Amino acid sequence: MAEDRRVVRAAGVIGFYTLLSRIFGLVRDAVIANFFEARGVADAWVVAFKIPNTFRRLFGEGSLTASFIPVYTESLNKDPREESDKIAHISMTISVILLIILSVTGVVLAPLLVRVIAPGYLGVSEKFILTVSLTKWMFPYIFFIGLVALCMGILNSLRHFTAPALAPVLLNLSLILSTLLLYNYFAQPVYALALGVLIGGITQLALQIPFLYRVGVRPKINFSFFHPAIGRIFKLMVPAILGLAVYQINTLVSTFFASRLPGGNTYLYFADRLIQFPLGVFAIAIATAALPSLSRLAADNRMEELMDTLNFSLRLAFFVAIPAMVGLIIIRVPILNVLFQRGKFDFFTVRMTAQAVLFFALGLWAFSGVRIIVSAFYSLKDMKTPVYVAIVALLTNIILCKLLVGPLEHGGLALAISLSSAINMLLLLLILRRRFGTIGAGKILGSIFKAVLSSLLMGGLIYWLSGYGEWTVAADDIYGLVVKAGRLLGVIVVGTGVYLASCYLLKNSELSFLLEGLRRRLKGTGDSGGDL
């Protein structure tokens, strides 16, 4: 129960700042949608930004953070603090060197990267040239965000979650301000976005430094590359990179196919942004918060408690993911209308994006589950199993993309990702069950059943309520937009209230746990869970 409370409290902190980031992210996307046409320069920017962002996930917060936290946490529990600090300093030194090499290589190989990832752009020379140029501008972003990922690993291991969770807000603010302030200063205005990415990377790294000093970790250079802990980190990192490489290839498969569909990558981008809202605020927040706790339990060989914490984390994620899935499916057009339908983002673009949202939303529960289950494997220092399962998911995704892109176009690509993610999650669960005998599947299924019943009741109500709005035309002015946004917010609030009330009547254990935690906090008896 103590670890569950720590996970919930840490996830609450991460979720709050992620929510803030997602709100600014939606503002950012609304600005991009207004200023840049979906089937033109926006398509080029989406692919160009995806390239360094893919490497960020591959070498930064993915493999580096996942392999660093278990080793660093173990050192914090067993060694003097000076030894743990030494591991952090050596890791910083190695990261700076490798990230400089990666940044330079990415700039040099930008034409090849674009050619491989978006071959459909070769037939449109202007789009291809622009995408390559934007990639060169933005690739150095990987240097700054890679170091942010290492800072995240250090701070999270020391149970400080605020600074890493707040960092993405700075990127979104940078992109918003660079577009609004610098749009007219470039012959091709989309370069304002590219500059915003670089500024965002610098400010995110700058934010971490004072918090590192606060927890007693001072950035230093240390060339003791043969330290045993560094060997263990690299030993974990290699299979983690392979696994994430498979995962990132999996996401780039849709980019490859969508490059042949006018506007396809832009539709998928904006749809993914909507899906990332609940995924980031809740599921990724829970997975990020759970990894240090799971690593601590694994280091102490408390396997039964580890499985209990994993079970609780999954149930908590599904408690949110299932109603979010139903809500996104039913009111996806009203949401897109309010957020994006203005300027160059017309109703045709809304309909095309809504098609992708529908099929992405079907996999929201699986996206959430995969992130949390993979964290459990990482805490056990098992980086290989997720690789093997991810390869199966990749092959499944490629086959499904080829089968579905014809009849469903970009919607088929979104559906392929959802289905392959479901297979990924179920296979990981089966492997865990075979290893540990039980993962509490009965409790998980019981929780899902109650969440589904409550979500269906909620879904029927919000479908009826949303029918009173006009969601095919853009608001004429600010007043009209405020009225539409208020109506949509009312639908969401009422739907959320009905879902929670239904869960309460069904005695949903996750809601009961959260309410009890809230009562403890109000009485001042909650577990602090460390410096968050």
Q: What is the pLDDT of residues 319-351, one digit of tens each?
A: 989 999 999 999 999 999 998 888 778 888 899
**Predicted TM-score (pTM) of this structure:** 0.71
Cα dist from 134 to 27, 127, 146, 519, whole Å = 22, 10, 19, 51
Under DSSP, the state recorded for 223 is -
Cα dist from 445 to 142, 314, 323, whole Å = 40, 11, 15
Better-predicted residue by pLDDT, 161 or 250: 161
Whether pLDDT at 441 is above 70: yes
Q: For residue 490, which amino acid is it?
A: G
- B/e letters for 151-178, b = 16+ CB within 10 Å, e = fewer, are bbbbbbbbbbbbbbbbbbbbbbbbbbbb
Whether pLDDT at 523 is above 80: no
Better-predicted residue by pLDDT, 195 or 276: 195
Under DSSP, the state recorded for 120 is G
pLDDT of residue 132: 92
Rg, Å, the chain Cα set? 23
Confidence category of residue 64, pLDDT binned at 50, 70, 90: low
Confidence category of residue 478, pLDDT binned at 50, 70, 90: confident
Cβ burial of 522 (10 Å; 0-12, 13-18, 19+) is exposed
The Cβ of residue 438 has, within 10 Å, a number of other Cβ atoms equal to: 11
- Phi, psi angle pair for 342, to nearest 5°: -170, 160
DSSP symbols for 455-488: HHHHHHHHHHHHTTS--SS--SSHHHHHHHHHHH
pLDDT of residue 37: 66
Task: Decide: 88 and 154 in contact? Cβ < 8 Å.
Answer: yes
Whether pLDDT at 529 is above 50: no
- 70-98 pLDDT, tens per residue? 788 888 878 888 888 898 899 889 889 98
Name the residue among 104, 121, 3 with its Cα closest to residue 55: 104
Write out the two tokens for 156.
């999270």
Question: Mutual orientation of helices 191-214 and 125-138 as an angle, nearest 10°?
Answer: 20
- 17-53 pLDDT, tens per residue? 777 887 888 888 888 877 776 556 777 888 888 888 8
Rounded Cα distance between 100 and 238, Å, is 19
Rounded Cα distance between 24 and 175, Å, is 10
Better-predicted residue by pLDDT, 241 or 22: 22
Confidence category of residue 242, pLDDT binned at 50, 70, 90: low
Better-predicted residue by pLDDT, 515 or 460: 460
- 205-234 pLDDT, tens per residue? 999 999 999 888 888 888 888 888 888 877
Cα dist from 492 to 30, 323, 327, whole Å = 20, 11, 8
pLDDT of residue 62: 58
Could you tell me what percent of the chain has a pLDDT over 90?
27
Confidence category of residue 500, pLDDT binned at 50, 70, 90: very high
444-447-452-457 Cα dihedral, nearest 10 degrees: 180
